[in-house]
């Protein structure tokens, strides 16, 4: 892949693929990656990827700020990850049980994450959050789970943001609090009474279309204290943020450790894997809960995870992504101001959300992103974005140049 | 890999890995692949695989009759699958959206499966069964789902064979019938009244530890008729059997087509992928249900699936596996009789279950399998096994030689 971004071409190949997809896939694509929710001109189909660069089906090249919505943390085709996957796959991947790499990975996870006395693996983030809830219920013999209003914890009936096909019973034992609001957390816990199984919290508030909110230490400590008092499990949903904020878990900087954590996205640099980690007190319950899948012992994604976590430790991945994200944030602020525009930048620098002031329907955000895309930067107008260790300062500066064109477009 | 099976060695490497795993994974391993449920001497960890041959962590070599509990349908390291995966992975795997291979795969699935007007993909069999239930509820606006007593449809609270951490509400809308029993199906449907969303059925009854039962055409037709009368969805759970009985779906030989089907295991020869297929009537509901995961647009497993389905069509995979399975079945019957033993062989030949008569605790089965393992054949004493297209007649004969030693051991 060359280092220059190409002049945008009409996306006719993408349109043709979408028309074919529309016939054989409901709505053209399921889930969060549908391009229907994105600004005009965004591609649906991608031809190839290298580092932090994507090429769509029409040959248009972008500096990517979504990292596949999180998984790509070292960049596409990272040599250490690719080599580990190739070596393991050449021996065996999906066999009648795990390969020895399972033990290597589990030991590495337990050594990396302070609260982890044990771990187990799955494929989806939803596998991990669902297992956390089930383990908490099995361990406590209780049913109620507190979740934050509007938080995303997966895409099955108990937690899906959609209500299509969901019954009232699927969510009968959920109680809701407002993220980072101690009083509402206490109120929800009171409602649960002596039936409180778990308090679930995302690493920070990262609801789509809203400014991100970092938890205060007071909030995290209040959740921890409630669980200590009641015996409920404090469950950290680190599926989205895990391994970008702190390799030990996203609440490590707050000094608060969960009882159970759910991990996925960045754990294996794009290879399908998720994990549950937990404290000793929940080990026995975890061994009783039956969680499994046909591919959960697949060895190649585990080899990818060992290589990914090792590399993230070696290069201080979170620190590197934080510095790059800060460069992006500072540059965005400077350029928006230059065009007389007010923007809201929120969340940790390595997972930035950029929203325009007074833009409740994200119209400016869409116009901004559409123009930046034409200039070779793939940004998101509503969702948090993701840095990777493959981004360079030059990549960030290229994104800022594209953003500058976007701001100019909006300012007009 | 050489063609001879080695003399069994003590499994000390496996024991050492198990001891390490026990410290960092609850119970040493989650789910269905735990070796704790297998006879003494069975390995937990595998070093490598080729075709239908496995080598465990101690270098013991086996002809494998489990095929990774289903996924390996063409054999490990099938050249066409490996080449397709390598070519796609070299371009891109987990990107900001799918690669064009998604469209190719979806068109191939729709062209291969007569009832499929559309499809979508996930990672786990449980993803697919859960989506089928949710789509059926979304389409009908009803809640009750009929499932067969004892049937396995996945490993999350609504369907898990375990009750640890499961609440009553998780299963509030399930009603049960006996597989292949028309009267009990009607009784369950009556119980559902005007709230019947779906009838779910496995391809055949394949409950662990029991003889397998093929459905009669009358049963399949009764299920179809009930759904036609009520507007409920007929859901075929083809996760385990799919692509081994008939490439168009396991009820094609019965002449009965479902409304929705769940697929996984064999779809991509061991690469993580599952699918839901459905009729036109359920397309709109499928587009409303939010099912997604971080890796569900991963392109390498889709390339594996295109290669796998293409090869299965080219070589008539189901026919080949049926013939090999019949050779195994005939040989097992002959050898058991020679040793004066009565065995029960059930299910389609390509997915055989072998149980001993008067062996309610599977003690003979365990002794038989343990001895066959020592002789180089990996069989299962309680669960159905799986043929693959990589098995040769010589492999089957080697398994029969090992089984002969097992029968001799049991007869003594």
CB contact under 8 A, A134 and B164: yes
- Asked if residue A267 lies in contact with residue A274, where contact means CB atoms within 8 angstroms, the answer is yes
Q: B277 with B118: CB under 8 angstroms?
A: yes
Percent of chain B surpassing pLDDT 70: 98
The tally of CA atoms less than 13 A away on the side-chain side of residue B236 is 31
Rg (CA), chain A: 21
| Residue of A33, A119, A157 lying closest to B297 (CB–CB) | A33
Residue A260 pairs with which residues in a beta bridge? Answer: A235, A278
- Beta partners for A200? A235
pLDDT at B7: 47
Q: Are B169 and B114 in contact (CB under 8 A)?
A: no
Say if A30 is an interface residue toward chain B (CB within 8 Å): yes
Phi, psi of A56 (to 5 degrees): -85, 180
**Binding-face residues of B in 49-78 toward A, CB within 8 A:** 49, 54, 57, 64, 66, 68-72, 76
The pair of structure tokens assigned to A341 is: 């525009």
What rounded mean pLDDT belongs to chain A? 96
Rounded Cα distance, B161 and B148, in Å: 13
Q: A58, A165, A233, A283: best mutation site toward chain B, by most B Cβ within 10 Å?
A: A165
Residue A307, SS3? helix
Helix (H, G, I), strand (E, B) or coil at A208: coil
Ordered strands of the A377-378 beta sheet: A46-50, A53-56, A61-64, A377-378
CA-based nearest residue to B133, from A156, A292, A30: A156
Quick check: A154 and A126 in contact, CB under 8 A?
yes
Residue B344 has pLDDT above 60, yes or no: yes
pLDDT digits (tens, 9 = 90+) for A260-296: 999 999 999 999 999 999 999 999 999 999 999 999 9
* CB within 8 Å: B99 and A125: no
Provide, as residue numbers in chain A, all residues whose Cβ is less than 8 Å from the Cβ of B237.
Answer: none
In this complex, which of B97, B162, B170 lies closest to A45 when CB atoms are compared? B97
DSSP string, A240-291: TTTTTS-TT-TTGGGT---SEEEE-GGGGTTSS-EEEEE-GGGHHHHHHS--
Let me know if B221 is exposed, middle or buried by CB neighbors in 10 A (0-12, 13-18, 19+): middle
CB contact under 8 A, B134 and A292: no
Q: Does B370 touch chain A (CB under 8 A)?
A: no
Sequence-distant (6+) residues with CB within 8 A of A318 are: A243, A244, A245, A246, A247, A312, A350
Q: Are A88 and A95 in contact (CB under 8 A)?
A: no
Are B33 and A103 inside 8 Å of each other by CB?
no
Distance from CA of B334 to the nearest CA of A (A): 28
CB neighbour list of residue A90: distance below 8 Å, 6 or more residues apart: none
CB B174 within 8 A of CB A169: no
**Confidence (pLDDT) at A10:** 65
Report strand pairing: B233-237 vs B260-263.
parallel
Q: Classify residue A378 by its DSSP letter.
A: E
What tens digit of pLDDT does each residue of B206-257 get?
A: 999 999 999 999 999 999 999 999 999 999 999 999 999 999 999 999 999 9
B 80-99 residues inside an 8 A Cβ radius of A: 91-99
And the tokens for B247? Answer: 């490439």
Contacts with B95 from chain A: Cβ below 8 Å: 46, 49, 54, 68, 76
Q: What is the pLDDT of residue B10?
A: 65
Is A196 in a helix, a strand, or coil?
strand
By three-state DSSP, how is residue A3 classified? coil
Q: Which positions in chain B touch A87 (Cβ < 8 Å)?
A: none
Does residue A2 have a pLDDT over 50? no
Encoded tokens for B18: 């198990």
Q: Do B133 and A165 touch (CB under 8 A)?
A: yes
B21:A135 CB<8 A: no
Q: B333 in contact with A at a CB cutoff of 8 Å? A: no
| pLDDT tens-place string over residues B290-314 | 999 999 999 999 999 999 999 999 9
CA distances from A254 to A220, A267, A320, A351 (A): 7, 21, 20, 18
A250 alpha carbon, distance to own chain's centre = 12
Nearest CA to A280 out of A142, A144, A139, A143 is that of A139
Measured distance between the N- and C-terminal CA atoms of chain A, rounded to whole angstroms = 34
CB-based contact A15:A25 (threshold 8 Å): no
Give the whole-angstrom CA distance, residue B329 versus residue B323.
Answer: 10
* Distance, CA of B319 to CA of B93 (rounded, Å): 33
Decide: residue B12, CB within 10 A, 0-12 exposed, 13-18 middle, 19+ buried.
exposed
Smallest CA–CA separation between A75 and chain B, in Å? 11
CB contact under 8 A, A164 and B289: yes
Whether the pLDDT of residue B394 is over 80: the answer is: yes
* Mutation site for B-interface testing, chosen from A12, A26, A300 by largest number of B Cβ within 10 Å: A26
Q: What residues are paired with B278 via a beta bridge?
A: B118, B260
Distance CA A97, CA A236 (A): 29
Confidence of residue A11 (pLDDT cuts 50, 70, 90): confident
Residue B61's region, left for phi above 0, alpha for psi from -120 to 50, else beta, is beta
Residue whose C-alpha is closest to residue A124's, from A274, A281, A334, A304? A274
Per residue in A14-55, pLDDT tens? 999 999 999 999 999 999 999 999 999 999 999 999 999 999
Give chain B's end-to-end CA distance (angstroms, integer): 34
| A32 touching B (Cβ < 8 Å) | yes
Residue to test with chain B: of A96, A283, A293, most B Cβ within 10 A: A96
Residues in chain A: 412
The token duo for B350 is: 């390509």
CB contact under 8 A, A92 and B49: yes
Give the model's confidence band at B4: pLDDT under 50 very low, under 70 low, under 90 confident, else very high. very low
Could you say which residues from 277 to 316 on chain A have a Cβ atom under 8 Å away from some Cβ of chain B? 278, 283-298, 301
Verify whether the Cβ–Cβ distance B46 to A96 is below 8 Å. Answer: yes
User: What is the pLDDT, as a whole number, of residue B43?
Assistant: 97
List the single best residue of B31, B52, B86, B165 to mutate versus A (max A Cβ within 10 A): B165
CB proximity list for B103: less than 8 A, separation 6 or greater: A17, A20, A21, A24, A45
E strand or H helix at A217, and its extent? helix A217-230
Q: Which tokens hold the place of B230?
A: 């009520």
The half-sphere exposure of B191 on its side-chain side, counting CA atoms within 13 A, is: 17
Give DSSP secondary structure letters for A110-138.
HHH-TT-SEEEEESSHHHHHHHHHHHHHH
Q: Is A306 in contact with A105 (CB distance < 8 Å)?
A: yes
Contact B25 A291 (CB under 8 A): no
Query: Average pLDDT for residues A363-389, to the nearest whole number?
Result: 98
**How high is the ipTM of this complex?**
0.97
Per-residue confidence band for B199, with pLDDT thresholds at 50, 70 and 90: very high
Predicted pLDDT of residue A8: 47
User: SS3 string of chain B?
Assistant: CCCCCCCCCCCHHHHHHHHHHHHHCHHHCCHHHCHHHCCCCCCCCEEEEEECEEEECCCCEEEECCHHHCCCCCCECCHHHHHHHHHHHHHCCCCCCCCCHHHHHHHHHHHHCCCCCEEEEECCHHHHHHHHHHHHHHHHCCCEEEEECCCCCCCCCCCCCCCCCCCHHHHCCEEEECCCCHHHHHHHHHHHHHHEEEEEEECCECCCCCCCECCCHHHHHHHHHHHHHHCCEEEEECCCCCCCCCCCCCCHHHCCCCCEEEECHHHHCCCCCEEEEECHHHHHHHHHCCCCCCCCCCHHHHHHHHHHHHHHHHCCHHHHHHHHHHHHHHHHHHHHHHCCCCEEEECCCCCCEEEECCCCCCHHHHHHHHHHHHCCEECCCCCCCCCCCCCCHHHHHHHHHHHHHHHHHHHC
Please give the domain boundaries of chain A with CATH numbers for all domains.
Answer: 12-69+316-411 (3.90.1150.10), 79-314 (3.40.640.10)
Q: Is the pLDDT of residue B6 over 70?
A: no
Counting one residue from chain A and one from chain B, the pairs whose CB atoms sit within 8 A come to: 335
**For residue B11, what pLDDT is reported?**
82
Asked if A355 reaches chain B (Cβ–Cβ under 8 Å), the answer is no
Q: How many Å apart are CA B155 and CA A132, to the nearest integer?
A: 14
Nearest chain A CA: its distance from B102 CA (Å): 8
Instruction: Tell me the chain B residues in contact with residue A264 when contact means C-beta distances shorter than 8 Å.
Output: 294
Cβ atoms within 10 Å, residue B302: 29
- Which of A127, A73, A139 has its CA nearest to residue A275? A127
Tell me the chain A residues in contact with residue B46 when contact means C-beta distances shorter than 8 Å. 92, 95-99
Rounded Cα–Cα distance for residues B295 and B274 (Å): 12
Q: What is the pLDDT of residue B128?
A: 98
| A46: nearest CB among B17, B25, B97 | B97
Residues of chain B contacting A172 with CB distance shorter than 8 Å: 167, 169
| Residue B118 at interface with chain A, using a CB cutoff of 8 Å | yes
């Amino acid at each position: 892949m060359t280092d220059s971004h190409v002049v945008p071409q009409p996306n006719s190949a993408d349109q043709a693929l979408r028309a074919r997809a529309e016939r054989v896939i409901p709505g053209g694509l399921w889930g969060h990656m549908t391009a229907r929710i994105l600004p005009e001109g965004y591609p649906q189909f991608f031809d190839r990827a290298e580092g932090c660069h994507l090429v769509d089906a029409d040959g248009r090249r972008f500096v990517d700020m979504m990292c596949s919505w999180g998984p790509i943390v070292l960049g596409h085709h990272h040599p250490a990850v690719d080599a580990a996957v190739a070596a393991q796959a050449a021996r065996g991947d999906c066999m009648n049980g795990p390969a020895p790499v399972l033990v290597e990975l589990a030991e590495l996870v337990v050594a990396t994450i302070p609260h982890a006395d044990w771990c187990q693996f799955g494929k989806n983030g939803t596998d991990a959050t669902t297992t956390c809830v089930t383990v908490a219920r099995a361990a406590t013999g209780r049913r109620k789970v507190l979740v934050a209003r509007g938080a995303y914890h997966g895409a099955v009936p108990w937690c899906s943001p959609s209500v299509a096909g969901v019954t009232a019973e699927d969510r009968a034992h959920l109680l809701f609090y407002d993220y980072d609001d101690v009083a509402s957390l206490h109120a929800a816990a009171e409602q649960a009474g002596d039936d409180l199984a778990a308090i679930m919290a995302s690493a920070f508030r990262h609801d789509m279309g809203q400014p991100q909110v970092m938890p205060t230490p007071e909030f995290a400590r209040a959740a921890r204290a409630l669980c200590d008092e009641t015996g409920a499990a404090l469950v950290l949903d680190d599926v989205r943020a895990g391994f970008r904020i702190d390799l030990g878990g996203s609440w490590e900087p707050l000094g608060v450790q969960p009882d159970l954590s759910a991990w996925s996205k960045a754990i294996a640099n794009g290879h399908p894997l998720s994990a549950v980690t937990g404290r000793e007190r929940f080990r026995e319950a975890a061994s009783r809960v039956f969680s499994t899948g046909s591919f959960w012992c697949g060895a190649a994604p585990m080899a990818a995870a060992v290589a990914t976590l090792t590399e993230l430790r070696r290069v201080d991945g979170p620190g590197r992504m934080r510095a790059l994200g800060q460069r992006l944030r500072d540059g965005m602020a400077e350029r928006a101001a230059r065009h007389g525009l007010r923007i809201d930048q929120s969340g940790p620098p390595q997972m930035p959300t950029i929203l325009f002031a007074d833009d409740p329907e994200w119209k400016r955000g869409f116009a901004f992103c559409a123009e930046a895309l034409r200039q070779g930067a793939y940004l998101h107008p509503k969702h948090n974005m993701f840095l990777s260790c493959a981004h360079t300062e030059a990549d960030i500066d290229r994104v800022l140049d594209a953003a500058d064109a976007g701001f100019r477009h909006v300012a007009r």
